[in-house]
């Protein structure tokens, strides 16, 4: 069993007098490691060190292309160690190995993408009048705090850290207390790279203590948070005390809309994958199915057959669906299923699964029909492999149903009619819209974020760079 120490000021921090928290393998229930529950003093030190590193002549002398070269080296390192990192992600989160491998490649792609962007983020010149040169300069925010969720730790860490370092910021990562292994693995690379000490630091601990102190710290200049709406609101309130800008990605209740002219086989495969990936523990999961009434019975039966064929098991064995992260999340999902049994009809699944020789928590992939549009299961993010089904009669009703939650993260549209596709895409209140696909293979280049309570700002793509820079306008008067 490993004791995972924090990386602060280039040193590994964690001693016997610190409070240590257990980390468990969701697939088996076995203890994997222990992490430090960082104290306020340790967080203070990390912020002070980050400030010193950011202001240092050493860091200011790093040219943008040199930052890019370092990020490219990290992308190469990730690919060279993909087997080890995939296993760590699988053990830590419980997700199937195939999905873990995809996450490792996505992490490499983020560092690769933002490596290429590091020297291509430019200001502009603004025409005012003769004798006045007006330009905008993009400058780094300073010290950025990154609160990483437990469901996609290496992906979500990589997408924000890469963009922040590419733009010249100092980074403090607070990994989720349940899933710190791959963050620690990347911290080991940062500890040995050419970056100044303090430009990248990794702290661990409970969100309610270590995370809370970090996001409320006056020395932090920008916060990126991925998690629940409730915690996101808490982060936003804490940031408001020091007027710290935030980027929030807070989840969704995303619909897949299947029209009567869709390719039903492709749609069924897409709808299935959108909800069972990572056992449904995905902010962008397609957790609502909106299907035209004329094809409902045919399509849902086809979908149920696909669900019934899915294998549930330990992540390391590469099944279709792995475990639920922990007992708390497992019991929450079961409570939703009980509501579903009372208020609707379970078409398939709906029960726990016992996997031999494990103490992990597993749930059958589930389809629930017969719910009211305003029911709890239709409105709340379950964060498990649970799909709710609703019907519509025409395109206007489909759009209205798609928009009938407090979220607006992703929408899938399945149709062979280009007019239907464009009209629906325009009508839905959603940060991403996919037509005849769902997810586009991760889409490192595509801006990701939501409308309404799904969050503030965008991650991924060039848009994410804007989170980590501020605009300075310089006007120069000259005489001829």
Catalytic position from the list 34, 177, 283, 381 = 283
Q: How far apart (Å, rounded) are the C-alpha atoms in residues 253 and 402?
A: 9
The CA angle 288-271-150, to the nearest 5 degrees, is 75
**DSSP secondary structure code for residue 131 in this structure:** T
**DSSP secondary structure code for residue 427 in this structure:** H
Closest-CA residue to 316 (of 90, 150, 93, 89): 90
Does the annotation mark 58 as catalytic? no
Do residues 381 and 406 touch, judged by C-beta distance below 8 A?
Answer: no
Catalytic position from the list 87, 89, 249, 381 = 249
Does the annotation mark 249 as catalytic? yes
Place of tokens 């056992």: 279
Alpha helices for 4-61 (secondary structure H):
40-55, 57-60
Q: How far apart (Å, rounded) are the C-alpha atoms in residues 212 and 147?
A: 10
Beta-strand relationship, 386-392 and 288-292:
parallel
Dihedral sign from CA coordinates of 149, 47, 461, 408: positive
**DSSP secondary structure code for residue 197 in this structure:** T
Dihedral sign from CA coordinates of 284, 289, 295, 296: positive
Q: How far apart (Å, rounded) are the C-alpha atoms in residues 48 and 50?
A: 5
Place of tokens 């992939």: 365
Tokens (6 digits) for 316: 């390391």
Neighbours of 117 (CB within 10 A): 20
**DSSP secondary structure code for residue 357 in this structure:** T
Tokens (6 digits) for 265: 């086989």
Place of tokens 């209740």: 253
Closest-CA residue to 292 (of 442, 364, 393): 393
Place of tokens 């004791």: 3
Q: How far apart (Å, rounded) are the C-alpha atoms in residues 444 and 77?
A: 18
Beta-strand relationship, 407-408 and 451-452:
antiparallel
Beta-strand relationship, 410-414 and 432-435:
parallel
Neighbours of 135 (CB within 10 A): 13
Q: How far apart (Å, rounded) are the C-alpha atoms in residues 383 and 409?
A: 14
Any idea which residues carry the catalytic annotation? 249, 283
């Amino acid at each position: 069993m490993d004791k995972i120490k924090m990386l602060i000021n280039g040193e590994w921090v964690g001693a016997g007098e610190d409070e240590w928290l257990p980390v468990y393998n969701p697939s088996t229930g076995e203890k994997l490691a222990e992490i430090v529950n960082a104290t306020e003093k340790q967080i203070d030190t990390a912020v002070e060190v980050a400030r010193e590193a950011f202001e240092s002549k050493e860091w200011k002398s790093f040219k943008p292309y040199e930052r890019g070269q370092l990020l490219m080296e990290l992308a190469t390192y990730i690919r060279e160690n993909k087997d080890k990192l995939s296993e760590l992600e699988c053990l830590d989160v419980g997700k199937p190995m195939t999905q873990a491998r995809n996450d490792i490649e996505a992490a490499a792609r983020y560092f690769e993408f933002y490596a290429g962007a590091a020297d291509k983020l430019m200001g502009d010149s603004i025409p005012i009048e003769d004798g006045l040169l007006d330009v905008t300069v993009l400058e780094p925010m300073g010290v950025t705090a990154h609160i990483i969720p437990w469901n996609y730790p290496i992906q979500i860490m990589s997408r924000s850290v890469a963009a922040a370092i590419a733009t010249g910021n100092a980074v403090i990562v607070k990994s989720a207390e349940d899933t710190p292994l791959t963050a620690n693995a990347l911290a080991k690379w940062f500890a040995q790279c050419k970056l100044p000490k303090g430009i990248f630091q990794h702290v661990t601990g409970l969100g309610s203590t270590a995370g809370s102190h970090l996001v409320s710290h006056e020395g932090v200049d920008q916060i990126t948070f991925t998690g629940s709406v409730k915690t996101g609101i808490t982060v936003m309130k804490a940031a408001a005390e020091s007027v710290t800008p935030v980027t929030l990605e807070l989840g969704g209740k995303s619909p897949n809309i299947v029209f009567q002219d869709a390719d039903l086989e492709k749609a069924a495969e897409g709808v299935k994958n959108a909800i069972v990936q990572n056992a449904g523990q995905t902010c962008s999961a397609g957790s609502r199915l909106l299907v035209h009434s004329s094809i409902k019975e045919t399509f849902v039966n086809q979908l149920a057959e696909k669900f019934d064929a899915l294998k549930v098991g330990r992540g390391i064995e590469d099944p279709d669906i792995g475990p639920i992260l922990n007992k708390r999340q497992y019991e929450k999902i079961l409570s939703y299923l009980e509501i579903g049994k009372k208020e609707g009809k379970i078409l398939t699944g709906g029960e726990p699964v016992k996997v031999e020789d494990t103490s992990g928590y597993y749930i059958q992939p589930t389809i629930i029909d017969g719910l009211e549009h305003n029911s709890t299961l239709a409105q709340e993010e379950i964060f498990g492999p649970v799909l709710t089904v609703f019907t519509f009669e025409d395109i206007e009703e489909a759009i209205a149903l798609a928009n009938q939650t407090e979220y607006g993260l992703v929408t899938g549209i399945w149709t062979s009619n280009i007019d239907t596709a464009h009209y629906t895409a325009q009508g839905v209140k959603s940060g991403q819209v996919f037509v005849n696909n769902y997810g586009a293979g991760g889409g490192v280049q595509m801006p990701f974020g939501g409308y309404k309570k799904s969050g503030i700002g965008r991650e991924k793509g060039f848009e994410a760079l804007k989170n980590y820079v501020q605009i300075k306008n310089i006007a120069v008067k000259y005489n001829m």
